[in-house]
Structure 1
Amino acid sequence: MTKRTYILLVVIYLLATVEALASDQLYNGTVRDEKGKALPGATILSDLGEGVVTDPFGKFKIKISDEAKYLTVSFIGYEMQQVALVDQTNDPLVITMQPSSISLSNVVITPDDTEIIHSLSQYDLAVRPINNSQEILRYVPGLFIGQHAGGGKAEQIFLRGFDIDHGTDISISVDGMPVNMPSHAHGQGYSDLHFLIPETIQRVDFNKGPHYAEYGDFTTAGYVSFKTRDAVDHNTIKVEGGQYGTFRTVGMFNLLGTPESDEDDQLFVAGEVFGSDGYFESSQGFRRYNVMAKYKSQWNPNTLFTATASTFYSKWTASGQIPVRAVESGQITRYGAIDDTEGGETARTNLNLQLVQDLKGATWSNQLYYSRYDFNLVSNFTFFLNDPVNGDQITQSETRDIIGYKSEYKRSDYLGSIQLQSKAGATMRYDHVDDIRLSRTKDRQEVLSDIARGDVNQSNVSAYIGESIALLPQLVLDAELRYDHLFFNYANRLDATDRTEDKGTWSPKARLNYQLSPNLSFFVKAGTGFHSNDTRVVVAQSGEEILPKAYGQDIGMFYKPASWLAINLTTWNLDLDQEFVYVGDEGVVEAGGKTNRKGVDLSVRAELTSWLFADVDLNYTKARSIDEPEAAQYIPLAPVFTSIGGLSFDFEQGWNGSVRYRYLGDRAANEDRSVIAEGYFIMDAVVNYTQPKYQVSLTVENLLNQEWKETQFLTESRLEDEPAPVEEIHFTPGTPFFAKLGFSYFF
C-alpha cells in the first residue's frame, strides 16, 4: 500500500469522525425482564439500521444519527418494544421486556448472520418439545444422528456430506466446556452428550463451516454449543414410562428459592435416572444416572460467577450391527444378534467455573474446567473373520483426565460513526489418557491379547483475535485469525517406546454481511479450519501431514417476506487436505486423500397461526474424493439429500406438541456406489397437556412403524458356519413403534 493511500484513508477516517461528532449520539442502556433480570443476547436496532446485541449483563452501547426516531428491542419469548429516542444521552436507557407467547415476529433480520441463527434456534427450541439431549443435535438443519451400540454409546453424526463418526468434524460444547475427546479409544473427537439432562438446556447455538475463531479443533463441518439454565422457575418432578421396559425420572429443584433479580444467588440441582430393556431380543439392561448442580452469583454489579458440577454413569448390553444375509436367511430376526455380549459402561464427572466481568465498554470472561472420564466398549463387527475359534470381539477402554482454561476479552467501540467490535482470546487444554487400550476379548470377560495399549498426553494451546467493523450500518465485515499449537505424546506399553511430536497451524477467517432491507440480508464467509489427528497417528507419521486443513466458503441470505415467515438459503463449498486416520476398531493407520464437498441448505420457518408453527430443512450435498478415479470418487456413507421438518402447536388452553419427520436419502456405501445404504422416512409425535401445577405427555417414535436401518456399514465378516468371508451391508435396526407416557408435577 502506498504512502498516498495511507494518507487518503486517514483523511476519510478523520472526516467520518468529525461528521459523527456533529450528528451522532451515543446511547447506553440495559435490557431486563419484568423481574429486573438481565437479558443477554437481546437485539437492539434503530429505524435507520444500526444494531447491537446486549452483553452478558444485558447492557448495550449504540451510536446512531440524529435522524433516528426510535429503537426496536426484541428477544424470543418477549413482546417486541419500540423505544422513542430523545436528545438526552447522559442517563442510561432501562428497557423492561414483558413475557409473551413465542412468535416468529421477534426474530429480526440484522447484518449479523450468527445472531439471526441464534434467534432462530431459540425459536425452534421454544416451539418443539424436548425429547432427549442427543436428539437436540437434530436442531441443526441437515444434521442426522444414528445409534448403533445399545443406546449408551455416543451417536454417529452426519452433516454436510461428512460421516463424522462420533465427532471428528464437528465441535460440540456445553457451557463452553468441550465435549469432543481427542485421541479417544473408539474414535477421534468422540462426543458423548448423555451427561446433559435435556430439561436443563436453555439455548442451542450452532453454525456451519470453519468460519468462527472461538472454535478450533474439530470445527470443519461446524459447531454446536449448548447453554444450560442458570436457574429454574419452579421445582419439577417428572416420571415417564413406555414400551420395552423403558422408564425415566427427572427432578429439578431450586435450593435458594425462585430468584427475583440478578442480585439473588441462584442454585439448582437436577437428577435423571433412565432405564430400558430395548426393542432387541436380547435385553439391553440399559441404565443411566445423571446429577447436575449449578450455582450463579452476581458478586457485584460488574461481576458474574457461575459454578457447574455434574456426574454421569451408564451401563448397557448391545446386540450390535448384524449382516443382511443373516436376516434374509432366517438365521436371526431384524432384532436378533450374532454376538449379544457387546455393550459397555462409561462415566464422566465435570467441574466448570466461569467468571465474567464488566469493564465499562468491555467484558472479560475466564473459564476453568476439569473432567474425569472412564470408558469401556465391547464390540464385534466381523464375528469370526479373524479368529474362527473365539470370535472377533474387541474391547476399547481408557481413563482420562481433562483440564482446560479459556479467557476472552470483548470490546465495543466507535471510530467516528464506524462501529468496532473487538475480541481476543486464549485457550489451553490438556488431556492425560491412562491405559488407552484395544484388546481382543471373549464374552466381555476374558482378554485374549492386546492389539494396542499405551498412555496419551495431548495438549492444545491456542490464541485468536477478531475485529468486526460496521463499514456502514447495513454492512459488517468480520476478520479473524486463530493459531493452535498441539503437543502429542504416546508411551506405547507394548513396545516400550515413548515418542513426542508437536505442530502448529494458522486459521484465518472472514465474513461479510449486508442488510439490503429490514427484511433481507446477505452473507459471504470464507475460512480455514482443521481437525487434529489421533496422537497414535501423529507419532506414526513422525509429525508429517498431521493437521490437515479445511477450506470453507459459504454464500447465503436470510429473508423475511412477512412477519410470520423466515427463509435461510445457503450454498457452500468445503475442501479438505490429505489426512491420516487412526482406525480405533483395528489399531491401524489409514491414509486418505483430498476431498471436496459442496451443497445447498434451505431452511424455512412459518408461524401459520398464533398456535400453529411449521418448519422444514432441505439439504443437498455432493461429496467426492478428488484424488481417486472419477468412477471411484464417492465418499462412503456421505449423505446426499436430507430433510427434517414438522408441525408444532401450542394452544392457550394448555395443549401443545408436534408431529415431525426426518428423511435420509439413499447414499453410496462404497467408493464406486456399487453398494447402496438405504434411506428412510420416519415420523415422531409428541402431545402435552400443561397446567400451572402439572403436565401430562405422550411421545411416539416411529409413528408409522417403519422398518428402517438406523446405521449401516459395508463390512467384510464371516459367520461361524461360513467357509469364506462376505462383504455386505451390516446394520442396526431403527426403533419400531415406541410410545411412552409422562407426568410432571410443578411446585
Structure 2
Amino acid sequence: MTKKFLSLSISATLFPLFSATCVLANDSGEPEANIERLTVTANRQENLDTELAMSVHSVSEQEMALDNGQHPADSLNSLAGVYIDQLAGGQGHKAAIRMPNNTSGYYLYLQDNIPLQSPAFFNHNALWWSSFNAGVQRMEVLKGAGTALYGSGAVAATINVLSKPVADKKESEFNLVAGQHDYRKLQFSHSNMLDQQSGFRVSASLFDNQGWRDHTAGTRGELSLRHEYQLASDEQLTSLLVMSDLEQEMAADLSESQWQSDRNGSGLSDEVLAVDPLRKTQYLRLSTQWEKFTANALYSVIPYLRYRTNDYTATWNTNTPKIESSVTSLGLLAMSNFTLTDKAETTIGLDIELSEGEQLSYQPLDVTTTGWGADTFVKGEKFYDDTTRYTGISPYLQYKYQATDELQLTLGGRYDYANYDFDNHITVFGDIGHGKLSMADRQDSFNHFSPKASVNYLLSPDSSLFVRYANGFRLPSAGSLYHITTKDSEEGISSLKPEVSDTYELGYKLNSDSITFDAAVYYMDVDDGIVHSYNQDGQRYLVNATRVIHKGLELATNWQLNEQLNATVAYTRSKHKFDDYQDYSGNEMMSAPETITNIRLRYHPSWLPQLTSMVEIQSVGQYWMDDANTTKADGYRVVNFKGHYQVNKQLSINARVINLTDKEYESSARISYGKMQFSPAAARTVYLGVHYQW
C-alpha cells in the first residue's frame, strides 16, 4: 500500500494502543526489542504510554504466539487485574476484572472497536464471537469505566480484539497444534497486495477437541476477510468480514460427591445426558471503515451489519427446555476529531444501533419431574416466544487540553438513549402454567449521561502520574425484563433505571531502558443495582435497590534482567463489598478472589538463540463461596510451561504444558441453594505445534 495510516479505528483518538512486552526470537533468532510501549494518538504521532490517563494493557502478537492458546484467557490472564475463567473446560467464559467472577453485563467486548454484541442481548460468552484464532494482531483491556466512546457495559472493563492489517508484501502462514484429548487446531493466513492502492488478508481456523471432561467435546470454525483500499493519500477504506460456527457439548458444575468420585465427569444426570445437550452458535459481522485525514482533522465512519444465533439446552432446569435465539443488528459509528489549537483538540461522535432479537424457549420432549415442584411437561409447549427491537442512539463529546508541556486535561461526556419494543408471540397473557408468566406487548426506554474527566502529569520523559474519573452504566437485558415467572410482577419495569457506576483511579507509570512499571489504585461504586424486591403480595419485581463497592490495587512490571532473562509480574489485591443490599449489607461478595497474580519468566539463551521458553505461575487467592460469607474456597496456584523454537526463517515449533505439576484443583467453587458446586480444572495437558511461514 502506498501509505499506512497509524489510526486503527474510530477510537484512535481516545483509546491509544501500546505494545505488550515480551521476549520472542525473530526470524534470525535474535530477540525482539521489548520494553518500549508506544501509543497512537489523533495526530498519528507515536506517544509513550506515560502520556495516557488510563489503565490499559495489551497482549502483543508475539506474546500470543508464545502462549499459542486455545482460548483468549490463555493470554489475557497475564494482565494485571484480569482473570477470565473458562466454563466447564470449553469455549464459554466469565470474567473477573475489577469485579467478582461473574456473568453479568459489566464488560464491553469489542473486535476492531466494534461491539461484538448488542447491549440489549448481552451474553457473557462474547469472546467466542471474536476471531481469536484467525488473524488477530493484539488484544487490549481498558480497565474501569470506558472513555466517552463506550456506552452500556463499559463499567468494569472494555476488552478489544484487534485483527492483523494487510501486509505490505505477499505473506502466508500455516499453524498446526495437536494435544491430548484429541485436540487439534489448524490455522491459515494469507495476505497480498492487489495493486498499489489495495490489498487483502484472509485468515481461517478450524478447532476440534474431545475435551478433558466428559461431554465437553467441541468444534469451531472461523473465517476472517480484510480488504484495505487507498482512495487517496489521506483517505482509506477498510472492510472486514468475520464469520464463525461453534458446536459444543454442555457440562455442568460438580456436586460435592461428584467432585470426590470423578472430577472429569460431566456433572449431568443420566436423564439430561440422554437428550445430548449441545450449544450451537453462528456469528457474522460485516463492516466498512472510511477514514479521512486533513491538516487539522480526522473523520471516521463505520457502518456494520451483525448477526448471531445462540441455541442450547438449559441443563440446569429439570425439564431441560430448549432455548433458541438470534439477533440481527445494523449499526453506525461516526466520529470526527478536530485540532483546535496547538494545545487543544475536540472529538465529536455519534453511535447508532438497531437490533432485533428473536427468543424462543420450548419443551423438546415429554418429561415428568419428581420431588419438590413436581410437574408434567408436554413436548412442544412454549415458555416464551417473542421479538424485542432495540434502538440505541448515543452522541458523545471529548475535549483535550495541553495546559503545559507536562500537564494534560481531558473532559468528556456521553448521552445514551435506548428503546425496547417487546412483541409477544404467545397470545395468552398472564399465568401460562409451569410457573411462567406471559407479558403483553409493551415499550420501555432508558437514558443516561456519562461524564468523564482525567488529568495526566509527566513527572519526567519516562514517568507519569494520572487521576481519572469515569461514570459508566449497564442496561437491563431484554431477557431480564420480559422473561419472568409467576413469582414475579411487571411492577417496577416502567420506573427501572440503568445500573450506574463511578470509577475513581490514581495511577503511576514508568518506562525505562530495562523496566516498565505500572501501579493503579481504584475505587468503584456501582449504584442503582438492578435486583429483585418483593411487593405486599410476595411477588418479586425488578428495582434499582443496591450499592456495591469495589476497590483494589493493581501492579504490573516487566523487567529485562539481562539479554537472556525477562520477567513480568501482574498482581492485584481487591475487596468487593455490599454497601446496601438486603441482608448482605457489609458482606463481601462471593467469587471475588482477594488476590490474582500472574508471573512469567522468559529465558532466551545466548547459547541457543533460536529458543524462547517461559515458565508461568497463575495464582488465584481465597474467596467466599456465598454472599452470606459462610465458607471460603482456598483458591489455587498452577504452573504452566511454554516454549518456541525457530528452526529457520520459515519454520518454528512450539510446545505448551498446562498444569505442569498435575495439580488437582477447582477453577471456581460456590454454594448454591445450600449445596457446594465445583468447576474442575484440567489436569496436566501437553500440546505440540508447528508453524510455517513463507
Distance 1:609 1:122 in 2: 21
Give matches, 1:133-144, under 5 Å: 133-135=71-73, 136-144=75-83
Distance 1:634 1:269 in 2: 48
Q: Paired residue for 1:243, among 180, 188, 191?
A: 180
Q: Distance in 2 between matches of 1:659 and 1:405?
A: 44
Counterpart mapping for 1:196-207 below 5 A: 196-198=131-133, 200-207=135-142
Q: Distance in 1 between matches of 2:542 and 2:681?
A: 30
Q: Secondary structure at the match of 2:259?
A: helix
Greater relative contact order, per chain length (Cα 8 Å cut-off, separation 6+): 2
| Amino acid in the other structure paired with 2:636 | Y
Which residue of the partner structure matches residue 173 of structure 1? 110
- Of 602, 610, 626 in structure 1, the residue corresponding to residue 579 of structure 2 is 626
Alignment TM-score, normalising by the size of structure 2:
0.83
Matches within 5 A, 1:288-307: 288-307=220-239
Q: Within 5 A, what are the aligned runs for 1:426-575?
A: 426-437=350-361, 447=379, 449-494=381-426, 495=428, 497-538=440-481, 540=490, 541-560=492-511, 562-575=512-525
Question: Does structure 2 retain, via aligned residues, the 8 Å contact 1:76–1:102?
Answer: no
The 8 Å contact of residues 252 and 266 in structure 2, kept in 1 or not, is answered as no
> SS of the residue aligned with 1:659?
strand
Q: Kindly indicate whether the alpha-carbon contact (under 8 Å) linking 2:54 and 2:468 is maintained by their aligned counterparts in 1.
A: no
Give yes or no for the alignment of 1:38 onto 2:13.
no
Deviation at 1:127, TM superposition (A): 8.4
Helix, strand or coil at the partner of 1:698: strand
Q: Deviations over 1:410-448 (max 9, x none)?
A: 122325xxx1121011001122111343758679x9856
The 8 Å contact of residues 296 and 339 in structure 2, kept in 1 or not, is answered as yes
Query: Which secondary structure does the structure 2 equivalent of 1:192 belong to?
Result: helix
More deviation, 169-178/127-136: 127-136
Q: What corresponds to 1:737 in structure 2?
A: 684
Aligned in 2, Cα 1:55/1:143: closer, same or farther, shift over 3 Å? closer
After TM superposition, the structure 1 stretch with the greater mean CA deviation from structure 2, 646-655 or 547-556, is: 646-655
Counterpart of 1:357?
Answer: 292
Query: Counterparts of 1:397 and 1:189 in 2: how far apart (Å)?
Result: 16
Q: Secondary structure at the match of 2:151?
A: coil
Match of 1:158 among 89, 96, 101: 96
Which SS does the other structure have where 1:217 is aligned?
A: coil
Distance 1:688-1:39 versus aligned 2 partners, 3 A rule = farther
Identity %: 15
The CA deviation at 1:38 is 3.4
- Paired with 1:228 and 1:624, the residues of 2 have a C-alpha distance of 37
Show the counterpart of 2:487. Answer: none
Question: Partner amino acid for 1:278?
Answer: G
* Equivalent residue number for residue 692 of structure 1: 649
1:433-487 per-position Cα deviation (integer Å, ceiling 9, x unaligned): 11343758679x9856443332111121101000110100100000001000000
267-276 or 668-677, larger mean C-alpha shift: 668-677
Which residue of structure 2 lines up, in the alignment, with residue 703 of structure 1?
A: 660
Name 1:62's counterpart in structure 2: none
Distance (whole Å) between structure 2 residues aligned to residue 589 and residue 236 of structure 1? 55
SS in 2 for 1:172: strand
User: Do the aligned partners of residues 248 and 55 (structure 1) sit closer, same or farther apart at CA in structure 2, a change above 3 Å counting?
Assistant: closer
Aligned amino acid, residue 575 of structure 1:
D
Contact 1:440 1:451 in 2 (8 A): no
Distance 1:405 1:192, change over 3 A: same
What is the one-letter code of the residue matched to 2:587?
Answer: Q
CA contact (8 A) 1:182 1:189 kept: no
In structure 2, C-alpha distance between the alignment counterparts of 1:171 and 1:54, rounded to whole Å: 16
CA contact (8 A) 1:210 1:552 kept: yes
Per the alignment, residue 675 of structure 2 pairs with 728
Structure 1: segments with no counterpart, 5+ residues: 1-34, 43-52, 58-73, 79-98, 383-390, 717-726
Q: CA deviation at 1:744?
A: 1.7
Preserved contact between residue 465 and residue 482 of structure 1 (Cα < 8 Å): yes
Aligned pairs (5 A) from 1:73-112: 101-105=32-36, 109=48, 112=51
Equivalent position of 1:661 in the other structure: 617
- Please say which of residues 727-736 and 121-130 is displaced more in the overlay: 121-130
Relative to structure 1, the CA distance from residue 575 to residue 582 in structure 2 (aligned partners, 3 Å threshold; closer, same or farther) is: same
2:59 and 2:138 in contact (8 A); partners too? yes
| Cross-structure match for 1:615 | 568
Alpha carbons 1:421, 1:467 under 8 Å: kept: yes
**CA 667–177 in structure 1, closer or farther in 2 if over 3 Å, else same:** same
Hey, what does 1:69 align to over in structure 2? Answer: none
Separation in structure 1 between the aligned mates of residue 347 and residue 418 of structure 2, nearest angstrom: 23
| 8 Å CA contact retained: 1:343, 1:379 | no
Aligned residue number for residue 42 of structure 2: none
Of stretches 130-139 and 551-560 in structure 1, the one that deviates more from structure 2 is: 130-139
How far does residue 179 in structure 1 lie from its aligned partner after superposition? 1.5
Secondary structure of 1:326's match? helix
| Maintained 8 Å contact 1:188/1:533 | no
Which SS does the other structure have where 1:626 is aligned? Answer: strand
CA distance change for structure 1 residues 570 and 55 in 2, over 3 Å: closer, same or farther? Answer: closer
Helix, strand or coil at the partner of 1:325: helix
1:596 Cα deviation from its structure 2 partner: 0.8
Separation in 2, partners of 1:743, 1:206: 29
Structure 2 residue matching 1:235: 3-state secondary structure: strand
Q: Distance in 1 between matches of 2:124 and 2:362?
A: 17
Q: 2:255 aligns with which of 298, 323, 334?
A: 323
Q: C-alpha separation between the residues in 1 aligned to 2:408 and 2:50?
A: 6
Q: 1:551 to 1:456 in 2, by over 3 A?
A: same
Aligned equivalents of 1:678, 1:334: Cα separation in 2: 20
Judge conservation of contact 2:89–2:682 (CA < 8 Å) in 1. no
User: Which has the larger displacement, 270-279 or 107-116?
Assistant: 107-116
Q: Which amino acid is 1:209 matched to?
A: G
Query: What is the match of residue 210 of structure 2?
Result: 277
Count of aligned positions? 629
Highest CA radius of gyration, 1 or 2?
1
Q: Is the 8 A contact 2:185 2:207 kept in 1?
A: yes
Give the Cα separation in 1 of the matches to 2:410 and 2:644: 43
2:175 counterpart SS class: strand
Q: Aligned equivalents of 2:221 and 2:65: distance in 1?
A: 28
SS of 2:413 mapped into structure 1: strand
Q: Tell me whether 1:646 sits opposite 2:584 in the alignment.
A: no
CA RMSD of aligned residues (A): 3.3
* Contact 2:78–2:570 (CA under 8 A) maintained in structure 1: no
Q: Given the two structures, how large is their TM-score scaled by the length of structure 1?
A: 0.78
Q: Is 1:231 aligned to 2:166, yes or no?
A: yes
**Aligned pairs (5 A) from 1:364-383:** 364-381=299-316
1-side partners of 2:689 and 2:59: how far apart?
25
C-alpha deviation, 1:553, in angstroms:
0.3
Counterpart contact for 2:558–2:569, Cα < 8 Å: yes
Residues 513 and 195 from structure 1, CA distance in 2 versus in 1: closer, same or farther, beyond 3 angstroms?
Answer: closer
Counterpart of 2:693 in structure 1 is: 746
Distance 1:312 1:123, change over 3 A: closer
